[in-house]
Amino acid sequence: MSSFSIPKAVTHVVHIGAGTGTDVTSYLAAGLDPIVLVETDANALTHLSDFERQHPTVRVVEAAVSAHGGASVFHRFNFPDLSGLKAPTDALTRLFPGLKVVAQE
């Protein structure tokens, strides 16, 4: 479980890139309402949906978030933690020689 302090003025949370939801228990304990979990990874979404079913204050949104408006291509890699809106760079493929794009959405 994550350990962090939440300022009293905070009443809700939008967690972009929520992953498997390791911080959700802390959000619930702090009484945050609503809790919006934004994630693109299908495996993580399955786990996050459990929180949504168990807690009426939790909402899960499947989306990729960018500072740029409009549609973008999401690159899914064989290393899910590296997936994102940016195409793989030469530096990234040198760092992860087995890196492959498995889908572009």
pTM of the model: 0.74
Judged against a pLDDT cut of 90, whether residue 71 lies above it is answered with no
Please give the Cα distance from 80 to 77 (Å, whole number).
Answer: 6
Tell me: the pLDDT tens digits for 29-47? 989 999 999 998 888 899 9
pLDDT score for 43: 82
If you average pLDDT over residues 15-36, what whole number do you get? 93
